Amino acid sequence: MKHKERIEQAIKALQERTFYAPYPENPKAYDAEADAQGKEAFQKAMSNPFVGLNEEGNTGFIGEEVSPYMMVGLGVQYPQFSIDTIMSRAKEAHAEWSKIDVEKRADLLIDMLDAVSKRFFELGYATMHTTGQSFVMSFQASGPHANDRAMESVALGYQELTRYSNEIDWVKPMGKFDLKIKKNFKSISKGVGLVIGCSTFPTWNTVPGVFANLISGNATVIKPHPKSIMPIAIVVAEMQKVLVENGLSPYTVQLAVDTVAKPITKDIAEHKDVKLIDYTGGTAFGDYIESIPGKTVFTEKAGVNSVILESVKDPKAVFGNLAFSFSLYSGQMCTAPQNIFVPADGIKTAEGHLSYDEVVEGLSKAVKGLAENPKMGAFVLGAIQNDNTKSRVNDTIQALNASNLEAEVAHPEFADARLLTPTVLGLDENDEHWKEECFGPIVFVVKSSDPLKHAAEMAEHKGAITCLCYSTDESYMQEVEHTMNAVFTPVSFNFVGAAFVNQHAAFSDFHVSGGNPSGNASFTDALYINRRFVWVGNRYA
């Protein structure tokens, strides 16, 4: 096995939950010319058919991506196929792929990740101009961090698929004789998988399911969001290239593109040959995906993440950390905090008592200060992925008779960038607005009679992926951990400096617990792999 040592290193990191990054996140770790080459490749792709995907039998080319920075269409066109063509090819490819042993599958999948790593900078620019993430965030999230999560799936899959002996001579002593039976044990893949991508993280949220399917022996169809196709198209192109180079069907992994006006997701999801579905996106559609009979489903849906502010040592450091978490990619992250629960009588600090109003003011000033920082503001905020997010936030602000944060922010490179500074709004606990997800750059500071109770109830009934707590009281922290864990929500305590609640590390942090309404699956626990295949044992007398 070519990549045996790398697989073993990854499995060790998974078991120990230590820091492990097989693909460095620092752009400077890569060739000095790679940035310019990646930018040039992205620019050449604009206003042209996408190059690299298998195009045989296509019914035309479509594409409607718009750059949130340039506010113009990218003009990239992708081959479109009928659902019948996609599914017949996937089913045929599955028959071939499922027969390959797990060692070879793992080697091929790591070869694919290595091939993708040579296009990290191009991926960065493609992600930047489809999602609105800053370039550095785009490079990291769609490049090395996505590859890390994919490797995590491969390593865990390899571990689970090699857990048992393949073949044994079973002997049971019976007194005067031994009962002897030959037994073999096989992992049988469930069938074709469908992975439904989202608009904001088109590779990071997609590749875990893709590689979990493939390591388990399941051919896979990827249905990207029509506004964020290019990043995952680059990944699929490299994957298909490795397959062809090894004499295998490129249709082992396929891209199924559509448009906003003519979506195909339901038709593929309900197709009789689709046995597995991975989904990232809004709750309503996620609930529908979970309701389709006869499918094994893995979802990451919406959640409302909370911050509990009980007491702090250094309020300035806390407000600064929270401001960065609110502002990173303008709150368009599934891990971003939305509700900040503050006791009605304020909080204790090492510098004295702060009233509720002073907390709201402190948070607002910290966000404004970060946004107007010429070296950080526009690059931390990124751009708003689509107009619906901007409209939703503005409608909420108007409904509350509030005003958007007055911060002077302009992108130094893209004058037309769709920017929106996070707005910090103070609300009473009886207000209804904080009780639903408001995706995007808006934060509710809730005057609460019981912050922990409110945070736990939101996690239980609406779902939560993260929870952040600030407290100097050890017993209160233990109570928070116990209460939030009971509703299947992880807690981060007293983050300041470079530790941010938004960020989850591959090989260490589980992303989504799978236990509350924010989703039914986790990146990456054993269930994420084991539900994609079935163990079958055969016996020979």
Cα distances from 97 to residues 211, 233, 273, 482, in angstroms, run 13, 21, 16, 44
pLDDT in tens, 218-234: 999 999 999 999 999 99
Model confidence at 103: pLDDT above 70: yes
Mean pLDDT, residues 415-434 taken together: 92
| pLDDT confidence tier of residue 200, bands split at 50, 70 and 90 | very high
Same domain (yes/no): 333, 391: yes
Give me the pLDDT at residue 532, please. 98
- The answer to whether residues 320 and 434 belong to one domain is yes
**Number of domains present in the structure of the chain:** 2
- Are 354 and 422 members of one domain? yes
Q: Distance between CA 279 and CA 180 in Å, rounded?
A: 46
> Same domain, yes or no, for 373 and 474?
yes
Question: Does 116 share its domain with 160?
Answer: yes
Q: How high is the pLDDT of residue 300?
A: 97
Residue pair 310/347 in contact (Cβ under 8 Å)? The answer is: yes
Do residues 123 and 50 share a domain? yes
372 and 451 in a single domain? The answer is yes
* Residues 312 and 458 placed together within one structural domain of the fold: yes
> In this structure, is residue 502 part of a structural domain?
no
> Is residue 263 scored above 90 in pLDDT?
yes
* pLDDT number for residue 406: 57
pTM of the model: 0.96
Share of the chain above pLDDT 70, in %: 99
pLDDT band for position 258 (cuts 50, 70, 90): very high
Please, are residues 384 and 440 in contact by the beta-carbon 8 Å criterion? yes
Per-residue pLDDT tens digits for 43-92: 999 999 999 999 999 999 999 999 999 999 999 999 999 999 999 999 99
Q: 512 lies in a domain?
A: no
Looking at the structure, do residues 321 and 389 belong to the same domain, yes or no?
yes
Same domain, 446 and 393: yes
pLDDT of residue 421: 87
Mean pLDDT of 435-442: 92
Choice between 409 and 2, residue whose per-residue pLDDT is larger: 2
Task: Tell me what the mean pLDDT of segment 358-387 comes to.
Answer: 94
Q: Examine the pLDDT at 265 and tell me if it is beyond 60.
A: yes
Residues 6+ apart with CB under 8 A from 393: 420, 423, 438, 440, 441, 442
- The pLDDT of residue 114 is above 90: yes
For the chain, the farthest-separated pair of C-alpha atoms sits apart, in whole angstroms, at: 90
Query: What 8-state DSSP symbol labels residue 471?
Result: -
Q: What value does the mean pLDDT of the chain take?
A: 96
- Specify the pLDDT at position 402: 73
Residue pointed to by tokens 């017993």: 475
Q: What is the pLDDT of residue 397?
A: 85
Q: What is the mean pLDDT of residues 468-481?
A: 98
Question: Does pLDDT of 320 surpass 70?
Answer: yes
Question: Which residue intervals of 400-473 are DSSP H helices?
Answer: 451-462
Q: What pLDDT, on a 0 to 100 scale, did the predictor assign at position 473?
A: 97
The answer, yes or no, to whether residue 28 has pLDDT greater than 90, is yes
Instruction: Identify the domain containing residue 481 by its residue range.
Output: 305-493
Regarding predicted confidence, which is higher, 406 or 21? Answer: 21
Same domain, 273 and 364: no
- Mean pLDDT over 479-498 rounds to 97
Q: Which residue has better confidence, 398 or 58?
A: 58
Q: Which of 457, 478, 493 is the last residue of a domain?
A: 493
Nearest to 306 by CA among 336, 332, 282, 285: 336
What pLDDT is stored for residue 393 in this prediction?
86
Query: Over the range 267-298, which residues count as b (16 or more CB within 10 Å of their CB) and which as e?
Result: ebbebebbbbbbbbbebebbeebbeeeebbbb
**Same domain, yes or no: 273 and 333:** no
Q: Tell me the three-class secondary structure of 349-404, residue by residue.
A: ECCEEECHHHHHHHHHHHHHHHHCCCCCHHHHHCCCCCHHHHHHHHHHHHHCCCCC
